[in-house]
Structure formats: structure tokens, C-alpha cells
Amino acid sequence: MTDKLTPEQRSENMSRIRHRDMKPEMVVRRTVHSLGKRFRLHGAYGANRLPGKPDLVFAALRKVIFVHGCFWHQHNSNKCQIVRKPRSNNDYWDRKLDGNVQRDARHVNQLKASGWDVLTVWECEVTRPGRLVKRLRSFLRI
């Protein structure tokens, strides 16, 4: 099946996708803040940047949270209704999305090897506030 949009329309659409301050990330940030925890943003930790630029950094706890979009990071759950692979330009998308997954795994491994605890919150999970709060409380030991 071919793309419903022209290449120019697809390019315009893709150029508008931001990589930070997206709705799922903002939901997690507000939730963590409401739980009384403070954090740094996007991998800031002293003079260094943490691998993968985690969305939320809790330096004193040595914990980080990534908020991943299900499509871009290929959420591997049969309960996720968001993730799917595009039907056109398969070579490009397979390479792009598989590369994202491999890079994510590499960053998580680097962080864990450096003594950091890592939590990944998926886009589809922020729609369930009760479960989200429970996961965050457990991870942050609140």
C-alpha cells in the first residue's frame, strides 16, 4: 500500500514532530512533580550529559526516566494500540525504527553499567493515571 500523503506533505508532517516537551512527557513530569519529587530535564547531570539524554533525572537517587513514544521507539507490547510499522518505504522505516530500538538498549545498558536505575514510561501508559502513579511511586520509592 502506498502512502496517503505526497512526499512533500509527509515531509512537512514529519518536520513538525518534536523530540521533547511532548504531551506524554509533560504528563509524567506533572505527575512526578505532584508526588513531591524534583528532577532535572533531558540528561542534565553536572557538567556531563547522560547517555540517551533521559527525560527526567533524579541525580541524588541515581535514577532516570525515559518517556518514549510507542511508534518511534517501537513499544513491544501486544496491549499497545499505537505502535505499527508504516506500509510504505519499508527499507527506510525498518532501518530507522530498528536503529532507535538498538540505540535505546545501548543507552540503558550504559546507564545501568554506570550505576543508574532506569525506568521507561511508554506513551500508551500515560493514559492510565492510576497505574502511572503506582509505577512512579514504586520506582522512586515514595
Write out pLDDT tens, residues 86-95.
777 888 889 9
Report the DSSP beta bridge partners of residue 117.
63
Residue 10 resides in a domain: no
Assign residue 117 the CATH number of its domain: 3.40.960.10
pLDDT value at residue 50: 92
Number of domains in the chain: 1
Cβ neighbours of residue 42 closer than 8 Å, sequence gap 6 or more: 20, 53, 54, 55
16-20, 37-41, 56-60, 118-122: least confident range: 16-20
Burial (CB count within 10 angstroms: exposed 0-12, middle 13-18, buried 19+), residue 29? middle
Task: Determine, yes or no, domain membership for 75.
Answer: yes
Q: Is residue 9 part of a domain?
A: no
How much is the average pLDDT of 36-64? 88
Q: Kindly indicate the confidence band of residue 65, based on its pLDDT and cuts at 50, 70 and 90.
A: very high
Q: Which domain holds residue 110?
A: 19-140
